[in-house]
Amino acid sequence: MSTEPNGITMRSDTIKKGDARAAHRSLLRATGVRETDWDKPFIAICNSHVDIIPGHVHLQEVGNFVKECVRAAGGVPFLFNTIGVDDGIAMGHQGMKYSLPSRELIADSVETMIEAHRFDGMICIPNCDKIVPGMFMGAMRVNIPTIFVSGGPMEAGKTESGQTVDLIDAFVAGAQRQSGAISAEALEAIEKAACPTCGSCSGMFTANSMNCLAEAIGMALPGNGTILATSADRKALYDRAAQRIVAMAKDFGRLGPGHGLLPREIATAAAFDNAMILDMAMGGSTNTVLHILAIAAEAEVPFTLERIDVLSKKTPNLCKVSPSSAYHIEDVARAGGIHTILGEVMRGRPGLLDLSCKTVTGQTIGENIAEYDVRGATASAVARALTRVRPGGERTSQAWTVPSVVAASRSQAAGLALLEAEGEDPDDGPQGDGHTPGDGFDPFDVIRTVDNAYSQTGGLTMLSGNLAPDGAVIKTAGVNPKMLRHTGPAVIFESEEDAYNGIVFGKVKPGDVVVIRGEGPKGGPGMQEMLAPTTAIKGVGLDDTCALVTDGRFSGGTAGASIGHVSPEAAVGGPIGLLRPGDIVEIDIPAGRLSVRLSGEELAARRASWTPPAPRFTRGYLAKYASMATSASTGAVLKWD
């Protein structure tokens, strides 16, 4: 690579500078590279447009808009796409086995594209489930300037009767219909209303949890996780991301590694702490634990379940969002967004967050909080205006159908008119003095203060004991208080499908502990999500009397006494694989314990007679994945040495 007169040396010089690269330049010209582009940074736009995923169906338009923004900012944009699996559509059948493994394919794809073509910077446009962490893992590997800017969350749905619903309501209603609890007409009403727009599903499920955590870890701009996919206000976010990535790529070319804004320089141990503190405060998905561990492994940052448990014990739970309450991401946005949650943590737990961590904004996370925490004295006008973003309430698969309320344009006037038409005062918003808007919305209930927290410990809890020697995870924010401690006999199922049928058709009784095993990273393989069984438990009215324990994992939409990631898993001889029907399982969430009432001698005797189950797949990607997958307690990353 050569150093240009302006002092910038770019990675992309490898493919565009010098006589030996004449053929490379010929190929690049054929893609549309102009004669004025050779001294500009080459920016990869890693998109994830997939027509079958609601969170991604609109991303072709988004990707093309980001291309225009990068070009306008002085970069040369190159768009490519990753695969994606829709967890909701893959749920309840063999397709779900491919969901978690797709994370590794996405990470490999990002690494391959960036390293093969020597890009100078990257914008990642993910939205759902495994796509966000997959891109994160790839970004940590290649370690070039990167910004994450998601497709945005879906609007919550409303039935004709006015009931607010989402995807989880549709799953629950399906189970209720199968058990005869509701009519076909009631099911249809919920089904048709649950997912009204493009965007990542409207609750604090895995996709939205990860997009919110991207802000706290410092790799995404404020608003990334909460501005609705349908809002034209996301355009400003995309434009700002384009300007920042071009500037970051130039800084990287001039200063090289160590200037502080590469992914591994941002994603430090302290940044991972900040991300998990946010996760605990907002009651995020248990899947975030799996993904944060995997991302930290790629960043070569030591991060463990034990560390997460320490943070959980210090962090108050300030938010409960669907499936743990009737609130949705659009309500979190209206209450002030992610940086307002961080602001409440900062005020109520001084010193818990590391405010000095650097972020892709060019400011520290502390400076970002000062600008975007709407309850703080220094919040910007833009941050306050973003609390006015509202759903359009119309079915659409298109981005930006709802006028902006921030941009100083005709769009803003239309957006403010929308507020007035809904009976809201455009000047109403969450203020530091506790002011409540005139329509009765209470931002201080959506995002609570530490003094009024749901609990003084985090929304996720790590468990251990003789049933989970290497740990397990539960979303405490979604647990009925009467189920925080529970003891009952094990009713064992060897697959997610068998468990669903057993629950719906009466095999499980009040007081039981449903055990689903053989669904871990190796055993599944692929760690199927257990949303169908957990919603079935709720659908048949057992959610306040039964617990569920699995070596698989849960959807971010899961609530109830649902314990996942039990490690070691059954496929490698973990204690969950040694259980027998009727064994007494003891759960004590406040004490962090998950045990079976068996002596060490009895467990050792059972282990001595245990034989590994035959692999479920002997060819294809799942066979390869199973051969390399590690424990959920280490993020289910792949190892091959």
Cα–Cα separations (whole angstroms), residue 191 to 47, 174, 241: 29, 9, 36
Cα–Cα separations (whole angstroms), residue 86 to 148, 313, 601, 606: 20, 33, 44, 39
What is the CA 154 to chain-centroid distance, rounded? Answer: 14
Q: How would you classify residue 605: left for phi > 0, otherwise alpha for psi between -120 and 50, otherwise beta?
A: alpha
Pairing of strands 584-588, 593-596: antiparallel
Pairing of strands 562-567, 547-550: parallel
Cα–Cα separations (whole angstroms), residue 616 to 366, 380, 489, 613, 622: 49, 55, 28, 9, 9
Helices 305-314 and 287-298: angle between axes, nearest 10 degrees: 120
Spatial distance between the Cα atoms of 148 and 166, rounded to a whole number of angstroms: 25
Asked if 43 and 80 touch (Cβ cutoff 8 Å), the reply is no
Residue recorded with tokens 């701009």 = 221
Annotated active-site residue 595? The verdict is no
Q: Which of 231, 555, 595, 633 is catalytic?
A: 555
Spatial distance between the Cα atoms of 232 and 412, rounded to a whole number of angstroms: 9
Handedness of CA 225, 229, 233, 236 (dihedral sign): positive
Helix residue spans in 31-145 (DSSP H):
59-72, 87-90, 99-117, 131-142
Asked if 120 and 43 touch (Cβ cutoff 8 Å), the reply is yes
The dihedral over CA atoms of 432, 438, 440, 442, expressed in degrees to the nearest 10, equals -10
The dihedral over CA atoms of 127, 318, 469, 640, expressed in degrees to the nearest 10, equals 20
Residue recorded with tokens 């324990």 = 549
Point out the residues that are catalytic: 555
